[in-house]
């Protein structure tokens, strides 16, 4: 029986990682990014009437842009009465509603879950922003460290981790995880599908 011995040159694994393997990782990362863009939720923005009658908490929320599956976070309100302290000096001469610590959650303006002081006569709107999250999705360049090659997909958007994994108020969409799983399943079904 004949035996043959193959001796690989030093650094062969590193050259593989730097060349064909890196290109393959980049192709998979780009496929995951495309799939993520298709599965990404739309966004929404809280918009006020932008006048002197807007509540202080709604003014703080103006322009708040978040994934559509989440609730807006409005600073809580508390009513401070006008009056005088025991020493006769004015206590809160302006009086009225003031921003307090804590937040109230609202899917939209005038959400029934909001306390009465947050929803009565509210004139705010929630503007849909289709494709806003997808537009902030990009492919990270593949990096080579020795024989290890890594790549990835990045989504830079306010509260995106809550949108992906969920919060006490909203279920997670898991759109990133599902995009990666779909690409892996497609790759297993047809290994040459992702090739450029």
Please indicate, yes or no, whether the overall pTM of this predicted structure exceeds 0.85.
no
Pairing verdict, β 65-67 and 72-80: unpaired
Query: Which pLDDT belongs to residue 16?
Result: 65
SS3 183: helix
Does residue 181 come out as left (phi exceeding 0), alpha (psi in the -120 to 50 range) or beta? Answer: alpha
Q: Name the one residue in this structure whose structure tokens are 């969409």.
A: 173
pLDDT tens per residue, range 79-138: 888 777 777 777 777 778 889 999 999 999 999 999 999 999 999 999 999 999 999 999
Query: Which pLDDT belongs to residue 12?
Result: 67
Average pLDDT, integer, range 25-37: 95
| Top-confidence residue, 196 or 96 | 96
196 pLDDT band, cuts 50/70/90, is: very low
User: What's the 3-state SS for 108-149?
Assistant: CCCCCCCCHHHHCCCCCEEEEECCHHHHCEEEEEEEEECCEE
């Amino acid at each position: 029986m004949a035996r043959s011995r193959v001796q690989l040159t030093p650094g062969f694994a590193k050259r593989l990682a730097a060349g064909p393997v890196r290109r393959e990782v980049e192709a998979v990362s780009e496929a995951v990014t495309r799939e993520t863009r298709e599965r990404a939720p739309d966004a929404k923005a809280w918009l006020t009437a932008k006048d002197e009658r807007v509540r202080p908490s709604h003014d703080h929320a103006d322009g708040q842009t978040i994934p559509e599956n989440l609730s807006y976070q409005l600073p809580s309100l508390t009513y401070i009465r006008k009056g005088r302290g025991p020493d006769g000096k004015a206590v809160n001469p302006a009086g009225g509603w003031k921003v307090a610590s804590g937040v109230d959650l609202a899917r939209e303006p005038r959400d029934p879950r909001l306390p009465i002081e947050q929803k009565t006569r509210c004139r705010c709107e929630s503007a849909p922003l289709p494709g806003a999250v997808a537009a902030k999705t990009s492919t990270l360049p593949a990096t080579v460290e020795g024989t290890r090659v890594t790549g990835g997909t990045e989504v830079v958007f306010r509260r995106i981790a809550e949108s992906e994994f969920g919060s006490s108020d909203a279920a997670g969409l898991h759109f990133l995880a599902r995009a990666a799983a779909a690409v892996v399943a497609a790759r297993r079904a047809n290994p040459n599908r992702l090739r450029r």
